[in-house]
Amino acid sequence: MGLANAANTLLEWWRATQPTTQLKFVS
């Protein structure tokens, strides 16, 4: 559970810092 929470937090931070890269990753 802790690992999933950390991964989710990392994803949230990454999306906030790299919106364009995040979109590119999703594509």
pLDDT reported for residue 24: 64
Amino acid found at 23: L
Looking at residue 19, its pLDDT comes to: 61
Summarised one tens digit per residue, pLDDT across range 5-25 is: 999 999 888 878 876 665 666
pLDDT at residue number 9: 93
- At residue 27 the predicted structure's pLDDT band, cuts being 50, 70 and 90, is low
pLDDT at 14: 81
Spatial distance between the Cα atoms of 25 and 5, rounded to a whole number of angstroms? 20
Residue 18: predicted pLDDT: 74
Instruction: Count other Cβ atoms within 10 Å, centred on residue 22.
Output: 14
